[in-house]
Amino acid sequence: MKQVEVAVIGTGWCGGIRAETLARSALVDKLHICEIKPERLEEVRVLTNPATATTDYQDIVANPDISVVYISTTPEQTHYPIARDCLKAGKHVLLEKPIAMEFGEADHLIKLSQDNNVKFTIGYSQRFNTKIAYAKKKVTDGTLGRVVNVMVSRHLSRSLGKKIASRTRLSPAVMESTHDLDFVFWLMEPAKPVRVYSQGSYGYMKDVNGSYDTMWTTVTMDNGMLVVVGGGWNLPPSYPNFCATWIEITGTEGALFLDDTHRDKWLNTVSEGTQYPMSTMPGEQVDHVFAGQMGPETLHFLESVLLDRPVMVAPEHARMVMETYRAADLSAETGEPIDLPLSNSSLARLADMIEADKKAGG
């Protein structure tokens, strides 16, 4: 059996899931982990028994025996430099979303992967949700006829939203709806987005990071199909990391409704009250099985490297998603629809908006 040495850089919530998944895999010869928080590094080291554990990601970059790297670092501004260094070193990279903070960074990472002939993908784990996979099948095989509209409503508890929003000044379109834009564009291939209109509503999150509580975005595709994506992170405090999603796909020959609100698993105890286990987007390990998407996604990338198969999420696709959610931010700010690809005028206005956000954030 072919095996490789693998590294995980950033072993927080998502990186910890990836490290534990890889530690269990027979495809991994040796696991290496990197985490800047010594206490978390030690915690994951005990859980995964890695060959090495370091606080400096350059140790991973400099190790020629490591061929596959999973980058799960926060804040999101760290994605580009770490991915850049790993790709330059000729390593295959799975990078958590977003692909980058700036378009030039995304383009540079894509070019590096091409120049070095290595696999590069972005962690859009919802493609590994069996319900989404079923939707892809029904769209592709023509069961629904010509798709006319897709609607996705995804909302997080404010306890999880605050955890995400507190670490970076980004909108729910960037941090949450990005997953939905990814899989909807995947469902609709080869159609591409050409116009974006978005609005946001302030509430609980405004005092946390100046962000909207919810954003609703309408995307017009080049074949005339409409996509409506709602994303928010202001549900009342509830079971930790709770995420509820409702999806409607309508076509000329049928419709598909997907309930991913996790109300089918309801635990109620005297001490803890109502809980919805296995209700997170990444998923969680449940004894011998993984309930969710991130475990299968982690192993899929490793298998793509070992078997030289195409990655599930092409980085160029992630770049298109990035352009769409940035257009949504600009539309919500200006109250105007934004055409895609972004014009020079839109790019300049977006750059001014991002710079103003940086100054407002201190």
104-137: string of b/e by CB count within 10 Å (b at 16+)?
ebbebbbebbeeeebbbbbbbbbbbbeebeebbe
CB 327 within 8 A of CB 196: yes
Residue 287 backbone class (left: φ over 0; alpha: ψ -120 to 50; beta: rest): left
pLDDT at 247: 98
> Distance between CA atoms of 160 and 273, rounded to whole angstroms?
18
pLDDT at 64: 98
pLDDT at 241: 80
Residue holding tokens 């985490």? 35
pLDDT at 139: 98
CB 191 within 8 A of CB 199: no
Q: Quick one: which of 169, 81, 88, 83 has its CA closest to 121?
A: 83
pLDDT tens digit sequence for 25-41? 999 999 999 999 999 99
Distances (CA, A) of 97 to 39, 147, 192, 273: 25, 27, 20, 33
> Distance between CA atoms of 313 and 246, rounded to whole angstroms?
22
Q: How many CB atoms lie within 10 A of CB 212?
A: 23
pLDDT at 293: 95
> Distance between CA atoms of 50 and 22, rounded to whole angstroms?
10
Residues of the chain with pLDDT under 50: none
pTM: 0.94
Q: How many CB atoms lie within 10 A of CB 76?
A: 19
CB 19 within 8 A of CB 44: yes
Q: Quick one: which of 73, 66, 1, 4 has its CA closest to 32?
A: 66
pLDDT at 240: 72
Name the packing angle between helices 79-88 and 103-115 (round to 10°). 20
pLDDT at 168: 66
Residues 6+ apart with CB under 8 A from 236: 157, 158
Name the packing angle between helices 177-187 and 130-140 (round to 10°). 30
